[in-house]
A = this chain, B = another copy of it.
Amino acid sequence: MTKEQYVYSFKEGNAGMKNLLGGKGANLAQMVQYGLPVPPGFILTTQACLKYGAEPSFLDEIWGDVERAMKELEALTGKSFGGGSNPLLVSVRSGAPVSMPGMMDTILNLGLNEQSVEALAQASGDRRFAFDSYRRFIQMYGNVVHGVNADAFEHVLDEVKKKNGVAFDNEISSGSLEEIVKQFKEIFKKATGHDFPSDPWEQLRYAIVAVFKSWGNPRAVTYRKLNKIPDSLGTAVNVVSMVYGNLGDDCGTGVCFTRNPSDGTKELYGEFLVNAQGEDVVAGIRTPLPIAELKAVMPRIYDELFRITTNLEKAYTDMQDIEFTIERGTLYILQTRSGKRSAGAAVKIASDMVAEGLIDRKTAVSRVTPEQVEMLLHRQVDPKATNEVLAKGLPASPGAGVGIVCFDADEAVELAQAGHKVILARPETCPDDIHGLFAAEAIVTSRGGMTSHAAVVARGLGKPCVSGCESVVIDVDRETITRSGRVIRKGDTITVDGSAGRVLVGAAPLQSASFSDEFKTLLGWADELTPLQVWANGDTPEDAKRARSYGAKGIGLCRTEHMFMAADRLPVMQRLVTADTIEERLAALNELKVMQREDFYGILKEMHGLPVIIRLLDPPLHEFLPKEHELKEDLDALVAEGKGQSPEAEKIRSLMAKVESLKESNPMLGFRGCRLGVVYPEISEMQVTAITEAALQLLDEGVDVRPEIMIPLVGVREEMEFFRTLVDDRVQVILKEQGKKMSYLVGTMIEVPRAAFVADDIAETAQFFSFGTNDLTQTTFGYSRDDAEGKFLGAYEAKGILRVNPFNELDRDGVGALMQIAVTKGRSRNPNLSVGICGEHGGNPNSIAFCYAIGLNYVSCSPFRVPVARLSAAHAAMGLLK
């Protein structure tokens, strides 16, 4: 048995070793394999991080390996660590197996001390650079290793700049920097109680420890929790010899993408800064130049970069996000990784790469996430909007959001929890703001580019974001956004147009997303990769049309009660509900039947050739009556007019009595669903008649109709038997009367826990099941959704009692367990039973993955979510969703 290796030189690794070397390290090693200009370095593995976490003395065991690796670095660079005339400086960075942008710590220029800074000044011929590097090192080391407040350092810098009348860091003189270094060391000593360490080996050791520990820092833990990344991965530590982009105007640093991450165009896209270090770009402190301008500034470098990045994309067969530095005319690639991209870009890139023969269709489908599809379906600002433009900035993340402005992440969370839609406005954002970004509808920053923290995170979250709005001042203390006299205050409403990079005053009209041909093609590929169909819930011919256009393969839930709410129908429905005799009830039903027949005619026609599941009346009858307090007001008004004894007043009184008699303590669990039809079978018979008559008319017209009648809220075998008989009897009577034939199915919703346990019995008379997971979640948890979301679910999520809101993502442990029981029992009695889901979870990716796993035939969701569901169904089949 060989001893486990915890320290790898770049040349010992490759891209396949991400779990051990971290994403960044594995890619750096792979680039070395490709012969690319990567600064030499080595990696402490993720296993080393975990071992250290379990037992800190572990670092002593591998310290010899670290020393050997440093010796190798010295040999490769010809520099020496901590001394000599050509000092070796290194960066120490975290690199986890999964990308966690900006979440963990980095220290640059490690190895500097009083001696080596002088040697660096001599070797580089640039004293200013040497001391600037030193002060950066002290600043980062102090902050990362000892938690010294970054503001204290920044304050010194600001004072110096003010005193010297300069605006930017790079304008500070060499002499001032030496003074700054002294002051930084004093700050360090004051904060930590001891001198800044001058021994480079001590620096290295503490830096490595700090990166190991950063795996457990609160913002990293939060990020992992939100992104469902296991804590057990650990982070690797990359120790890389420093190269410098800030040694003069033949230096620079930048970030680029092999394709445009915003719209997917095949072009080298990115930003760079001349005479700057990489941190300046990533942190968004200075606004960089577009990469195209590099061609003019450094044409040879641009060409080399273009060649290298093109090859990297081909090698990885995916769009790459590459960091580079130019040190005195030499290009170094510091990092490559799959680039984050907007939803639109994801679709375009995947589609283009298939056309280019770079990837196959399955890979293309895997490259677009359900979340991105959801973003594509995000709203946009209506082009006809005439709102005043407050600011223009960078279109950092597409989509549009309207909300009230707020300037603090904590406050954004509070306002969102109180039900407000919030726009978070910040000069720039940092990882500490992550909870605010989650809570916001959209984000605006006055500083930072397309790769700034706010931009990257917003794209990841699918939130609209406009960054770099330099024309406005975002004042966090005064809580204002100001542009030449125009002031927007906290609580004012604004619109963020992330697609166009604009911020508008007031609430602009929004419009829903368009649906590109490439997107349609991709979804077509997705459909081929999964047996799980996507249907849509829809109550009108318009819904049905939209569902078809989004690719739905059927209507999984047509709620007949919505048809009764229309203005011309409600009075008839009220006559039905208030009927005292069966005759009055039948008269109202006859009128309703004519209306319902029209509704069903329209939907069945629109869905020709595809199944339409029509659910019989479900809600409690009192929902069709006016509210008690409205009636009371009307009556009071009549009494005030002296018409207290008029026929109108009597009518209101009788209506009030009916409302009173139908009142329920818990209507969710009350007289609704199939219970209505057991007590008033004539209502169900009317609906079955309307469906049958509409279907027969369409059959006469040559339309292929596939009606399926669904009984809601069944929990007892005998309920299903009752309705199967009722439906079959009614349909047969009509078929006999008209001398015709028709195919149809009768099935049920599974939406109370008991139904799952008797699903085998129910499946004897039900020809299909559809999970009503909204109600099933309510009954399984004992949560009334209406009450829970306002009263305690917030506290439950905040206190970590629930990881997600079970009304958003299907609860597998409880609701899912019941679904599994129902599927197993139902199919045990009826092996061909078709089973679907028509609760809102039918449009949620992780919920869809579960539906796939338990073998459902289809998911049915809102027409707008059909594309998300189609892609999710494919990803589920490919094992990409859990």
Contacts and interface: CB of A to CB of B under 8 A. Distances in A.
Interface of A: 664-671, 673, 675, 678-679, 713, 715-716, 718-719, 722, 751-754, 757-758, 775, 778-784, 786-788, 791-792, 795-796, 799-802, 811, 813-815, 817-818
A671 to B, nearest CB: 4
A781 B752 CA distance: 6
Most buried by B among A718, A752, A757: A757
A669 B713 contact: no
Given A787-B664, A813-B758, A669 B669 contact: yes
A715 B782 contact: yes
A778 to B, nearest CB: 6
B666 A669 contact: yes
7 contacts: A664-B791, A678-B799, A716-B802, A718-B801, A754-B781, A757-B818, A775-B782
The 6 closest A-B pairs by CB, nearest first: A754-B814, A752-B782, A666-B784, A669-B784, A670-B787, A671-B791
Contact of A678 (B757, B780, B801, B818): B801
Contacts of A815: 754
B678 A792 contact: yes
Instruction: Give the secondary structure class of A's interface.
Output: helix
A625 to B, nearest CB: 15
Most buried by B among A754, A757, A775, A796: A754
Contacts of A814: 715, 753-754, 757-758
A122 B758 CA distance: 68
B817 A787 contact: no
Given A665-B668, A668-B665, A669-B666, A780 B800 contact: no
Given A799-B678, A801-B722, A780 B758 contact: no
Contacts of A800: 718
Contact of A753 (B673, B775, B780, B786): B780
Given A678-B792, A802-B716, A753 B818 contact: yes
A718 B782 contact: no
A763 B857 CA distance: 35
A778 B813 contact: no
A343 B530 CA distance: 67
Given A678-B801, A754-B782, 18 more contacts: A664-B791, A666-B668, A666-B784, A666-B786, A666-B787, A669-B783, A671-B787, A671-B792, A673-B782, A678-B792, A679-B791, A713-B782, A718-B801, A753-B753, A754-B815, A757-B817, A758-B814, A779-B779
A802 B674 CA distance: 14
B718 A802 contact: yes
A800 B725 CA distance: 14
Contacts of A802: 716, 718
B670 A813 contact: no
Contact of A801 (B664, B666, B719, B782): B719
A600 to B, nearest CB: 27
Contacts of A678: 792, 795-796, 799, 801
Nearest to A795: B679
Contact of A667 (B665, B780, B813): B665
Contacts of A669: 666, 668-669, 778-779, 782-784, 787-788
A855 to B, nearest CB: 19
A649 B129 CA distance: 75
A317 to B, nearest CB: 43
Given A792-B679, A811-B754, A716 B784 contact: no
A679 B798 CA distance: 10
Given A791-B664, A795-B679, A784 B718 contact: no
A683 to B, nearest CB: 14
Contacts of A664: 784, 786-787, 791
A800 B779 CA distance: 25
Contacts of A715: 780-782, 814
Contact of A779 (B667, B671, B718, B780): B780
Given A791-B664, A800-B718, A784 B754 contact: no
Contacts of A817: 757
A813 B782 contact: no
Contacts of A713: 782
A582 to B, nearest CB: 14
Given A665-B668, A718-B802, A792 B675 contact: yes
Contact of A780 (B722, B754, B784, B792): B754
A145 B862 CA distance: 65
A202 B186 CA distance: 125
Contact of A813 (B757, B781, B788): B757
Contacts of A675: 791-792, 796
